[in-house]
Amino acid sequence: MFSNTPINVKKVKTRNRLIKTNIPAPGTIKILNSLKKNEVRSMHGQLPIIWNKAKNFNVFDIKGNKFIDFTSTIFVANIGHSNSTFKRKLVNSINNNLISTYAYPNKLREVYLSKLIKFCGKGFEKAYLLSSGSEALEACIKIIRLFALKNKKGLGIISVSGNWHGRTTGSQLLSDNSEQSNWIKFKNKEIYHLRFPYPWTLKKYNKTSLEILDEDLRNLSKKINISKKISGIVLETFQGWGALFYPRDYVKKLSKFCKKNNILFVFDEIQAGFGRTGKKFGFQHYGVKPDIICCGKGIGGGFPLSALIGKKKYLDIPKIGTMSSTHSANPIACAAGIAVLDELKSKNLIKASFQKGLILNKSLINLKKKFHNLIELVSCKGLLAAIIFKKNKNINQLVGRVCERCMQKGLLVVYTGRESIKLGPPLTISKEAIIEAVEVIDETINEVFNKNL
């Protein structure tokens, strides 16, 4: 949907941004056309910028234009792009001439898993390492179903409509993003969905989030025996497209419901984990303790790594040899994981995420006040935020244009394909760059919606 036609944009030069050429930069279109020729269509549709290098919270294109990165690629680079500790540990691993070990033990694996379990804290006893968030979700579904068989329960899983859990078949079954016609729609009688308690949903029905939850569970109980048929509840820590968190009492009630009915309580922490929301994990905002968490993205700092982490009585249900993956826990991935944990601790990045998040939140609240006729709401916890615009027939196109104009001014944001913009800079970003980035968004919204381009 983005234009590949280079335009002569206003030159920009600040401490954090540098735009010195037309955007897209010269040479960009040639590379994009080659990719379109040789690569599947589904991989395209991002902003027309060729990433040449990235350092800390900046991205540089092929002509040296410098952008503030408010994407962390896609909430991955929590410890900053090209982190020196991260690079050193990966190089050391490679130089040790041990690239892959399959399920055979290696020392880095032992070191990393010990650090990871200690980082997660009480109640998290074992981990299963994989390569991607979607793979972690698939493994989680398998654990839930093995738990069901062991406990002579049904294979049913409850999720929440609008949550996003990945692009594989199983994770898409949980997602139920029926609003988006271009997403694959699956039907499965063993997957059940609760309504997400959006503010506008509560207003529409004139009900509290607990009343919505009670009503949904009551309706489900009329169809099935929940305690016998349901074995797991999987929650995305926040509604992905809008960075929308559940009301705290809603999640607390679900936690109690799971304990009462012997149901595994699972959090999808793939976007939320490892300091992104100002805490180690997003579930901590709710004052609950899940049985299992699914982790990805920020766990590997840019290297393919994911994990299931939880109580050993659940993660040890699979028999020896029944759950492994070709690249599970390979030495380089473990080196990456170690680097992430070391940097989070040594640079106090989780606390930094919380403190910088207060600055981002304040700036976004001011933005909403200024554009109250355009912005429905803003959401921000730590360095995870979203701007949700009021719907109209052209809103997706207009929001896409805001994202594109931000790029042309030297700021990269996440376009969700709908009426929201997501924001997630590396936790290492400066306070100055946060304020500058929101000023760019402010300026761009004013231009796009007033058509003063």
Q: Residues 337-363: pLDDT tens digits?
A: 999 999 999 999 999 999 999 999 999
Strand partners, 160: 194
Residue 401 φ/ψ, nearest 5 degrees? -70, -35
What pLDDT band is residue 173 in, cutting at 50, 70 and 90?
confident
| Across 215-232, average pLDDT | 96
CATH 3.50.30.50 for domain 12-79+349-450, yes or no, is no
Residues 6+ apart with CB under 8 A from 39: none
What pLDDT band is residue 249 in, cutting at 50, 70 and 90?
very high
Q: Range with the lowest mean pLDDT among 352-356, 364-368, 416-420?
A: 416-420
- pLDDT of amino acid 44: 86
Per-residue pLDDT tens for 24-48?
A: 999 999 999 999 999 999 888 889 9
Per-residue pLDDT tens for 122-145?
A: 999 999 999 999 999 999 999 999
Indicate the fold that domain 84-346 takes in CATH: Aspartate Aminotransferase; domain 2 (3.40.640)
pLDDT for 183 beyond 60: no
Per-residue pLDDT tens for 279-328?
A: 999 999 999 999 999 999 999 999 999 999 999 999 999 999 888 888 88
Residues 6+ apart with CB under 8 A from 297: 74, 75, 76, 133, 270, 271, 273, 274
| Across 173-197, average pLDDT | 67
What pLDDT band is residue 452 in, cutting at 50, 70 and 90?
very low
Domain range summary for the chain, segments of one domain joined by + = 12-79+349-450, 84-346
